[in-house]
Copies of this chain bind each other. A is one copy, B any other.
Amino acid sequence: MGEFDLIRRFFLPLAQQRRDGTLVAGPGDDCAVQRLAPGTDLVFSIDTLVEGVHFPGHYPPEYLGWRALAVAVSDLAAMGADPLCYTLALTLPAATEDWLEGFASGLAKASDAFGIALAGGDTTRGPLTITLQVHGSVPAGAAITRSGARPGDLVCVSGTLGDAGEALNWLSCDEPGPQARAVLHSYHYPRPPLALGQALRGSASAGIDISDGLLADLAHILEASGVGAQLGADKLPLSEALLALHNRDKAVALALTSGDDYQLCVTIGPDSFQSLPEAVRIQLTVIGTVEAGAGIRLTGAPARLDAGYDHFREYS
């Protein structure tokens, strides 16, 4: 199958899906064209997934399609943006129809779930590598950045942490039990909390998505804001599945240091937190407080913790 047939068959259908009003022209020309509503900012981010580094070899293509878009969309959630469209640069070793069908199917489901349309792309032959750029919008000036955390702000996270990290131990298991299946689902089908991010615009002082592990990602907020934080390890939200698979110390270590959860970590003033609608507030767990100074002061943590994830470390 040549490049053009492949695009026509597998990817153009993704462009017709959920096409929103901002896309003046989608795939099929040298560039795509987008017209934003007046008074809005474009928010965009590019992310690459490499086989053997960000996902295992022979990873099922349907999971990969979902994950690739979820990982990228997670950056929009962190900024509080409304998703608009994405571009896909797909490098693959051979145009296997089975693989492409699975990948496009996962991508289509994720496009639907996250409300985002394919705007354009490039398909090339080479080692399996997937790069997506996502576009979103916020009212002008309203993007949630990493640099607004102030002493006294609460440190909050969404969802539960550590599940996707634990899933890495079960990827090759032929017959995982129900708890292992639950953490594997978190890994295969991450759901970045987009609506939560949007609801936190104007309230959160800073935000980031947890892709590399809570400690590593919170450290980015603290560094960008010139502050420190104290965290209570006993306050971390842990899933029942994770606590069934491990003792509490190991579960806490995973929640602090393992990546791939794609939940949000935000800071927010106590008054702003109390003013959040209850439906928003209950999606957040308060795990600590921003302090003057630098670094993270951790209470109640297990004695040994691994360092945060670095994309230059190979998959184990």
Q: A residues within 8 Å of B by Cβ? A: 1-3, 6, 24-25, 28-36, 38, 41-54, 75-76, 78-79, 81, 87-89, 91, 95, 119-127, 129, 131, 133, 136, 138, 140-141, 143, 145-147, 207-209, 224, 310-312, 314
Contact B45 A143 (CB under 8 A): no
Contact A127 B125 (CB under 8 A): no
Residues of chain B within 8 A (CB-CB) of A127 are: 50, 126-127, 129
User: What are 28 pairs between A and B in contact, CB < 8 Å?
Assistant: A1-B312, A3-B310, A29-B145, A29-B147, A30-B75, A30-B78, A30-B146, A31-B44, A31-B78, A33-B41, A33-B43, A33-B44, A33-B79, A35-B42, A36-B36, A38-B38, A44-B120, A45-B120, A46-B87, A48-B124, A50-B126, A50-B127, A54-B124, A89-B131, A123-B311, A125-B312, A126-B127, A126-B129
Contact A314 B42 (CB under 8 A): no
Interface core residue of A36, A209, A310 (most chain B CB under 10 Å): A36
Measured CB to CB, the nearest residue on chain B to A309 is B3
Complex: A312 Cα to B42 Cα, angstroms: 33
Contact A46 B131 (CB under 8 A): yes
Residues of chain B within 8 A (CB-CB) of A145 are: 25, 29
Residues of chain B within 8 A (CB-CB) of A140 are: 35
Pick the contact of A47: B32, B89, B146, B147 (CB < 8 A). B89
Contact B87 A133 (CB under 8 A): yes
Residues of chain B within 8 A (CB-CB) of A123 are: 311
Contact B53 A125 (CB under 8 A): yes
Residues of chain B within 8 A (CB-CB) of A311 are: 3, 123-125
Pick the contact of A50: B91, B208, B310 (CB < 8 A). B91
Interface core residue of A38, A81, A91, A121 (most chain B CB under 10 Å): A91
Residues of chain B within 8 A (CB-CB) of A125 are: 50, 53, 311-312, 314
Residues of chain B within 8 A (CB-CB) of A54 are: 124
Residues of chain B within 8 A (CB-CB) of A31 are: 43-45, 75-76, 78-79, 81, 136, 143
Complex: A208 Cα to B24 Cα, angstroms: 18
Residues of chain B within 8 A (CB-CB) of A24 are: 41, 141, 143
Residues of chain B within 8 A (CB-CB) of A143 are: 24-25, 31, 33
- Using known A-B contacts A89-B89, A129-B127, determine if residue A47 contacts B78 with beta carbons closer than 8 Å: no
A42 to chain B, nearest CB (A): 4
A60 to chain B, nearest CB (A): 19
Contact A51 B126 (CB under 8 A): yes
